[in-house]
């Protein structure tokens, strides 16, 4: 009996180390190989009846587990020592990418509309970079853009659905393999294994298709607000 319990404990410890290694490894790849400024997200906490809510002090948090809190967004860094210290102390923390500046930006939209938009971009022969996905929303990573450029692009459209969101300077997105209140974050289209900093399209190349997909999809592609 003691031998069986010992094996179970060793298996549990191995699983914990493997999970920690995967999360920390992903964070280090983003920060040190791709030079993307990151920081740990607030994460989730277990509640009653197995429910999982946000660890932040706001009981009505609309993006549970999927946002910066402590440290704040300005703490995002590419320093390996800081990244390692964060995730060694908080191994389950989501990986938050601070968008804008020299870092990637993103355009996100509900999952149904996003799938339609990606199919149309593929049909048009538009080269895409990494695409993030949760069960509710997908985010297309794009090259850094200014709000002035974005404003000019959107001005060409009669209407831009509120379900389409832009993550530029001062914004953020959550990277795989994070867990959030909306579900796990995964790569719908992953960076090429062993590649240097992932290639990113300009926002001009994708924004028209994303607006069209969001406009033509009932409810913008989802009933979810976030």
The three-class DSSP label of residue 80 is helix
Angle subtended at Cα 101 by Cα 99 and Cα 105, rounded to the nearest 5 degrees: 35
Q: What is the mean pLDDT of residues 59-79?
A: 92
| More confidently predicted of 110 and 10 | 110
Which tens digits make up the pLDDT trace of 95-112?
999 999 999 999 999 999
Task: Name the residue among 23, 22, 30 with its Cα closest to residue 97.
Answer: 30
- Quick one: pLDDT band at residue 47, thresholds 50, 70, 90? low
Q: Is the pLDDT of residue 209 over 80?
A: yes
pLDDT for 195 equals: 64
- Provide the mean pLDDT of the chain: 84
Which tens digits make up the pLDDT trace of 19-32?
457 889 999 999 99
- Quick one: pLDDT band at residue 163, thresholds 50, 70, 90? confident
| More confidently predicted of 221 and 7 | 7
| Helix ranges, 140-206 (H) | 147-155
Q: Is residue 183 within 8 Å of residue 66, measured between CB atoms?
A: no
Region of 5 (left: φ > 0; alpha: ψ -120 to 50; beta: rest) is: alpha
CA dihedral 27, 32, 34, 40 (to 10 degrees): 30
Q: Is the pLDDT of residue 219 over 60?
A: no
Q: Is the pLDDT of residue 33 over 60?
A: yes
pLDDT for 16 equals: 45
């Amino acid at each position: 009996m003691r031998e069986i319990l010992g094996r179970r404990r060793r298996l549990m410890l191995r699983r914990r180390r493997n999970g920690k290694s995967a999360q920390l490894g992903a964070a280090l790849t983003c920060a040190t190989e791709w030079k993307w400024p990151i920081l740990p997200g607030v994460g989730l906490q277990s509640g009653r009846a197995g429910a999982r809510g946000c660890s932040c002090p706001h009981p009505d948090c609309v993006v549970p587990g999927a946002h910066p809190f402590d440290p704040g967004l300005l703490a995002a860094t590419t320093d390996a020592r800081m990244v390692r210290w964060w995730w060694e102390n908080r191994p389950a923390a989501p990986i938050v990418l601070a968008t804008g500046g020299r870092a990637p930006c993103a355009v996100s939209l509900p999952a149904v509309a996003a799938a339609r938009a990606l199919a149309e971009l593929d049909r048009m022969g538009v080269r895409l970079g990494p695409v993030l996905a949760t069960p509710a929303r997908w985010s297309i990573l794009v090259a850094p853009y200014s709000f002035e450029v974005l404003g000019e692009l959107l001005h060409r459209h009669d209407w831009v659905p509120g379900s389409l969101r832009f993550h530029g300077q001062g914004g953020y997105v959550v990277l795989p393999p994070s867990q959030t209140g909306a579900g796990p974050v995964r790569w719908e289209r992953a960076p090429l294994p062993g590649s240097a900093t992932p290639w990113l399209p300009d926002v001009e190349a994708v924004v028209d298709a994303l607006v069209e997909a969001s406009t033509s999809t009932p409810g913008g592609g989802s009933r979810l607000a976030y």
